[in-house]
Structure 1
C-alpha cells in the first residue's frame, strides 16, 4: 500500500492496522472517519511507530490511544 498519498482510504487502512496491532477492545470508538486528512502526517507517524515495535507496554498503548484521541476531528 502506498502511504505516501494523503487520502481518506490510507487513513482508514492505517487506523485499522493500529487497532489490530494494539488489540483495541474499544476499536469501534476509533473510526477512521473521525480523522481528517489534515492530520495525515501525525497519523502516519503513529502508524509507523506501532508497526515497527514488536511489543508495546501498557503505558505505550495508553499513550498511543491518547494521541489518536487528540488527533480525532472535533
Structure 2
C-alpha cells in the first residue's frame, strides 16, 4: 500500500523500514492529536513490530474521528509495542 507523504512523495508501506515506522508513528500522532507525542517516538519501535504498527496505522488512517476511549486504547496498544 502506498501513501502520500508531505510534498507528494510516495511511501511504500509494504516494506518494513525504519523510515516507514517513523512515517506511520508520525501519522498516528498527528491524526489522534496526541498531547503526549514525545512519549511516542519512532525510535521506541523496531522492525519486529512492523505488522502490528501497520495494523494500527491502517485503523487510524481509515477513520475520521475517534472517541476518547478509542484514543486511549490505541495509545495503550502502542505502549505495549514499545521496545523494552
- The answer to whether the superposition gives a TM-score over 0.5 is yes
Identify, as 1 or 2, the structure richer in helix: 1
**Unpaired runs of at least 5, structure 2:** 1-10
Q: Tell me which of 8, 11, 15 is aligned to 2:25.
A: 15
**Unpaired runs of at least 5, structure 1:** none
Larger Rg: 1 or 2?
2
Say how many residue pairs are matched: 74
Q: TM-score, normalised by structure 2?
A: 0.87
Task: Report Cα offsets for 1:21-42 as digits up to 9, x if no partner.
Answer: 0101100111100001100000
Q: Tell me which of 46, 56, 63 is aligned to 2:56.
A: 46
| Larger relative contact order (Cα-Cα within 8 Å, sequence gap ≥ 6) | 1
Identify, as 1 or 2, the structure richer in strand: 2
